[in-house]
Amino acid sequence: MSSAVVRTITVVIPDWPAVALQHSNDDPLVVLERGRVIAASAVALQQGVRHGDRRRAATRSCPSARVVSRDVLAEVRAFEPVIAALADISPRLEIDQPGIVRFDMRGPTRRLGGEHGVVDAVANALATCCSDETARIGVADGPTVSLLAAHLAAQAPLVIPVGGSAEFLAQRPIGDVVAVDVLTSEGVDLLVRLGIATIGDLAALDPRDVLVRFGAEGARAHRIATGIDDRPLAAIEPASLPELERRFDDPLTTVTPAVFAIREMAGELVEALSSAGLSCTSLVLSAETEHSEWTEQHWYRAEGFNASAMVDRARWQLDAWAAGSAVSAGIVLVRLRVVGVRPDVGRQDGFWGGITAADEAATRAVARLVAICGEEQVRVPVASGGRLPGERCVWVPVTTVDLADASRDEPAPVWPGSVARPAPTSVPISPEPVEVLAVDGSLLSVSGRGDLNADPDVVVIGGRRRRVVAWAGPWPLLDRWWDRRGRRRLARLQVVLDDGSAHLLAVEQRRWSLMGTHD
């Protein structure tokens, strides 16, 4: 075991997005993000709700469940008492995300009489600030193994002996590394296909072979599999690491201008680290009011912070702080301090390259719009999935997404019952009424069996008549059949007109409408 590995304690509160929004322990609650379940209350889980379920499957398993969308700011605000309670044990907390926090055991161990004393103190602190009884505590060599231990500590705190990480991990399934963000699910699937079923199987491989085949990510996974989890945890910052602060002559009474200043500082920090071949993994954000009220939090991101990720954490923290009763004056200072870095191993860009100067200019323009209009008024599309063109994307506040994350633009999987791709490139905000006529001039209709009463001959769009030169369909759709109020029955038809345009049309209750255009 490397001497750099330190004993770490990690606290995990499973399904924190649901715990933060839960009114009582008997409240069946399901939290959705992008149409899938990311968290649920204990009652909902007991009734069969599973992570990754779609809304339909979740409500079928637990009909009485209250279904809500994820609220990150509510999660951060609800986690503040937990952070405050644990700060009395160790002031150097590392917050992975709301619901997960860890700290170095060395100082508290000497003060509280050993590791079991620290574990008892943490359990008592959680009991005073968190009504939920599912908090889990794990202790191990290094932050990653302690996180896995916390996930597995369902009944009681799990303490892995000093030097026992490799033995503890050996028989664990290889899929466990996904839960602690060591490998992606795609990387784990490849390992399973190669016959590597356990973490011990990965540890038995030659590290050079793992590095060649899986790169830096695989090399880190191999080191952890062998018990070497030496990522520094809240280490003392070297003098060379950058730190920036902004002071305001006129106290800021709202969070938005402070976030805008932090966005500028974040860009400078990322640029300074990038020029040195480094990426920030640990960040301390501080703010002070005119009355000397103070907030400071330590944030960690294994893959490294870009400027957008820094700004996201800043907004979460400042919004939660400003909403509390401890703030009675305007903000006069904000500070960003880098306390942990790793070599910037780069990333594999797509075929057409990575972020361009135009992308960066657009991000800066969006930041200005947010500062002028407010975060709820500036929205961007995010793929969500659906059977109709207008349902495949939803508009969300720009501050809730990472604009630099290329995976945000990846298309959602095609839903069963959707019209075959390519999808329409232009979709009206609301369906536009049209007429579809047969040769004799009568309005075309679709039977209950999904059959046309005649071939389409003319389409009238915006008062202009265009002759149909090719068509396909119809494709019937019965959506939400179980919901008396929300169910829909319609049929879709694709047509190519004599002016060369192609459209997706739909008929519902004998009315035709334009649902999309193929440009």
SS3 458: strand
Backbone angles phi, psi at 154, to 5 degrees: -75, -40
Between 515 and 286, the higher pLDDT residue? 286
Between 195 and 240, the higher pLDDT residue? 195
Distances (CA, A) of 380 to 257, 394, 395, 401: 21, 8, 5, 9
Residue in the block written with tokens 């002071």: 247
How far, in Å, CA of 10 to CA of 119, rounded? 10
Instruction: Tell me the pLDDT band of 58, cut-offs 50, 70 and 90.
Output: confident
Between 125 and 361, the higher pLDDT residue? 125
CATH code of the domain occupying 243-343 = 3.30.1490.100
Q: Is the pLDDT of residue 379 over 50?
A: yes
Distances (CA, A) of 183 to 28, 38, 191, 204, 275: 32, 19, 10, 17, 27
CB 296 within 8 A of CB 286: yes
CB 29 within 8 A of CB 18: yes
SS3 222: helix
Q: Which residues pair with 140 in a beta bridge?
A: 8
Q: Is the pLDDT of residue 220 over 70?
A: yes
Q: What proportion of the chain, given as a percentage, has pLDDT over 90?
A: 2
How far, in Å, CA of 405 to CA of 381, rounded? 13
Residues 6+ apart with CB under 8 A from 175: 188, 192
Q: What is the mean pLDDT of the chain?
A: 79
Question: Residues 83, 84, 87, 89: is their CA dihedral positive or negative?
Answer: negative
Which helix (H) or strand (E) segment holds residue 158: the answer is strand 158-159
Q: Which residues pair with 436 in a beta bridge?
A: 459
Provide the pLDDT for residue 247. 92
Bridge pairing between strands 243-252 and 331-343: antiparallel
Distances (CA, A) of 513 to 468, 486, 497: 16, 19, 16
Provide the pLDDT for residue 52. 84
Q: Which residues pair with 39 in a beta bridge?
A: 31
How far, in Å, CA of 25 to CA of 129, rounded? 15
CB 22 within 8 A of CB 155: no
Domain map (residue ranges) of the chain? 243-343, 357-409, 432-518
Point out the least confidently predicted range of 7-16, 232-241, 445-454, 498-507.
232-241
Distances (CA, A) of 158 to 45, 114, 117, 234, 480: 23, 15, 14, 22, 45
Alpha-helical runs (H) found in 248-306: 255-275
Provide the pLDDT for residue 79. 81
Q: Is the pLDDT of residue 236 over 50?
A: no
Instruction: Tell me the pLDDT band of 344, cut-offs 50, 70 and 90.
Output: low
CB atoms within 10 A of CB 185: 10
> CA-based diameter of the chain, in Å?
92
Q: Which residues pair with 502 in a beta bridge?
A: 496, 518
Amino acid at 170: A
Backbone angles phi, psi at 231, to 5 degrees: -70, 125
Instruction: Tell me the pLDDT band of 87, cut-offs 50, 70 and 90.
Output: confident
Provide the pLDDT for residue 352. 47
Most confident segment among 148-152, 241-245, 274-278, 383-387: 148-152
C-alpha angle 453-454-460 in degrees, rounded to nearest 5: 110
Provide the pLDDT for residue 1. 45
Provide the pLDDT for residue 166. 86
Taking the whole predicted model, whether its pTM rises above 0.85 is answered as no
How far, in Å, CA of 345 to CA of 228, rounded? 20
Our separate counts of H helices and E strands in the chain read 15, 20
Q: What is the pLDDT of residues 304-328, one digit of tens each?
A: 788 888 888 888 888 878 876 667 8
Instruction: Tell me the pLDDT band of 135, cut-offs 50, 70 and 90.
Output: confident
Which helix (H) or strand (E) segment holds residue 216: the answer is helix 207-225
CB 368 within 8 A of CB 254: no
Residues 6+ apart with CB under 8 A from 509: none
Q: Compute the average pLDDT of residues 34-50.
A: 86
- Is the link from the previous residue into 433 a cis peptide, with omega within 30 of 0? no
Between 178 and 375, the higher pLDDT residue? 178
SS3 460: strand
Provide the pLDDT for residue 372. 66
Instruction: Tell me the pLDDT band of 233, cut-offs 50, 70 and 90.
Output: low
Rg, Å, the chain Cα set: 27
Residue in the block written with tokens 């991101």: 301
Length of the chain: 519
Provide the pLDDT for residue 172. 86
Q: Compute the average pLDDT of residues 386-405.
A: 70
Q: What is the pLDDT of residues 411-465, one digit of tens each?
A: 566 676 677 667 777 778 777 888 888 888 888 888 877 788 888 888 888 888 8
Instruction: Tell me the pLDDT band of 234, cut-offs 50, 70 and 90.
Output: very low
Written as six digits, the tokens of 407 are 């995976």
